[in-house]
DNA sequence: AACCTTCGCAACCGCAAGGAT
DNA sequence: CATCCTTGCGGTTGCGAAGGT
């Protein structure tokens, strides 16, 4: 499977790699290690572009790559990470050891995206598609627009959580403050539950509550709803456009912020189930 | 059996970010 | 500070395999 091999204007090979080329590339890297990709082909004796060698190594030849069918657990993970990160395949791949971003992207585009569509889920927003007579739109499964003044959705809640995670990890907002803010607006509480927020060295309980909105009992006590209700209390936590945070300096300062965000959000997901 | 469509996946392309000069 | 170069990423394409008619 793959593309046939051909030579470009520079006399360099393109298309499918042969097993002999693979062997040469692996042998070279094993002996000399990774270095300048541009000059690597010449040094290794390959009629290839450095970019092609890099791609072949990262997506196919490097040790530890898991190939073959994705397990249901892996598929669930991809869908969940995609709902949080969007088409940031490299970021998703970082959360799934042994799978390449290319593999994940391919599987999403060829399989998972279509599966979601068949299930009536918008693959971009991860929300149920509501077929309207006048105009098509998507709605949160548990919240209607009137139930929350802002354009609340799982995506925006993810963004809020992201900001929350960034705030916690940067100690911009202490846990005490977050705790106080959440507790300060427990509207129509009917039941209490507990969330644990881990902050690397310390753990604290954040008490949440169930809420009743527009006659529809929200049967969860996710951090999402709580944050939705308390958004206004976070003076600088206004709803932002998708992935604003990912563009911010604070987010790119350290990968562990992503880990923290995912950790916190997974706790939120558990509450949803 | 032949043809057509869909699937799966390797690899290419263009662009952007960041480092080097 | 500007320009060039390298690397990394995401979107897309090409093509054999598999499945359907």
Decide if A253 is inside a domain. yes
Residue located via tokens 């070279």 = A28
Q: Which nucleotide is nearest to A36 (CA to C1')?
A: C6
A56 touches strand B (CB under 7 A): yes
Bigger pLDDT: A249 vs A10: A10
Q: Which nucleotide is nearest to A103 (CA to C1')?
A: B9
CATH number at residue A36: 1.10.10.60
Among A139, A172, A196, residue at a domain's last position: A139
**pLDDT at res. A128:** 85
H helix intervals, chain A? 19-32, 40-44, 50-56, 72-85, 89-95, 101-107, 113-118, 154-169, 175-184, 223-230, 244-247, 249-252, 256-272
Do residue A245 and residue A255 come from a single domain? yes
DSSP conformation class of A187: T
Residues A39 and A93 grouped into a single domain: no
pTM here is 0.59
Number of domains in chain A: 3
Task: Say how far A63 CA is from C13 C1', in Å.
Answer: 27
Residue A76 lies in a domain: yes
Instruction: Answer yes or no: are the C-beta atoms of A245 and A166 closer than 8 Å.
Output: yes
When pLDDT is averaged across residues A11-23 and rounded to a whole number, the result is 91
Question: Of A35-39, A47-51, A249-253, which range is least confident?
Answer: A249-253
Cα distance between residue A3 and residue A87, in whole Å: 25
The answer to whether the beta carbon of residue A118 comes closer than 7 angstroms to any atom of strand B is no
The larger pLDDT score, comparing residue A82 to residue A188, is at A82
Q: Does A160 or A238 have the greater pLDDT score?
A: A160
Q: Are residues A82 and A205 in the same domain?
A: no
Same domain assignment for residues A57 and A134? no
Is strand B less than 7 A from the beta carbon of A67?
yes
Last residue of a domain, one of A25, A45, A61: A61
pLDDT of residue A35: 84
Residue A37 CA and nucleotide C5 C1' are separated, in Å, by 12
Please tell me the predicted confidence (pLDDT) of residue A125: 87
Mean residue pLDDT across chain A: 61
Looking at the fold, whether A242 and A185 belong to one and the same domain comes out as yes
Per-residue confidence (pLDDT) for residue A7, from 0 to 100: 86
Residue A237 has pLDDT above 50, yes or no: no
| Residues making up chain A, counted from first to last | 273
- For residues A14 and A73, membership in a common domain is answered with no
Are A149 and A256 found together in one domain? yes
Residues A135, A146: one domain?
Answer: no
The residue that leads in pLDDT, A217 or A255, is: A255
pLDDT tier, A121 (very low <50, low <70, confident <90, very high otherwise) = confident
Q: Which nucleotides of B are covered by protein (CB under 7 A)?
A: 7-14, 18
A251 part of a folded domain: yes
In a domain, A54, yes or no: yes
Range of the domain at A52: 6-61
In a domain, A1, yes or no: no
């Amino acid at each position: 499977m793959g593309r046939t091999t051909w030579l470009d204007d520079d006399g360099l090979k393109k298309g499918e790699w042969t097993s002999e080329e693979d062997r040469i590339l692996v042998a070279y890297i094993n002996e000399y290690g990774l270095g300048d990709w541009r000059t690597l082909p010449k040094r290794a004796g390959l009629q290839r572009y450095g970019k092609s060698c890099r791609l072949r190594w990262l997506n196919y030849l490097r040790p530890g790559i898991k190939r073959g069918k994705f397990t249901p657990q892996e598929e669930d993970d991809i869908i969940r990470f995609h709902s949080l990160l969007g088409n940031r395949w490299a970021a998703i791949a970082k959360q799934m050891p042994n799978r390449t971003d290319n593999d994940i992207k391919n599987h999403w585009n060829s399989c998972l995206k279509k599966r979601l569509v068949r299930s009536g889920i918008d693959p971009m927003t991860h929300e149920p598609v509501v077929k309207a007579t006048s105009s098509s739109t998507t709605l949160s499964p548990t919240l209607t627009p009137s139930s929350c003044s802002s354009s609340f959705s799982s995506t925006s809640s993810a963004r809020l959580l992201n900001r929350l995670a960034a705030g916690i990890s940067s100690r911009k907002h202490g846990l005490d403050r977050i705790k106080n803010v959440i507790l300060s607006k427990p509207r129509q509480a009917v039941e209490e539950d507990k969330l644990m927020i881990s902050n690397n060295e310390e753990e604290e309980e954040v008490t949440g509550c169930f809420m009743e909105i527009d006659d529809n009992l929200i049967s969860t006590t996710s951090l999402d709803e709580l944050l939705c209700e308390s958004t206004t209390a976070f003076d600088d936590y206004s709803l932002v456009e998708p992935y604003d945070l990912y563009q911010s300096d604070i987010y790119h300062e350290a990968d562990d912020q992503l880990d923290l965000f995912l950790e916190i959000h997974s706790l939120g997901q558990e509450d949803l189930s």
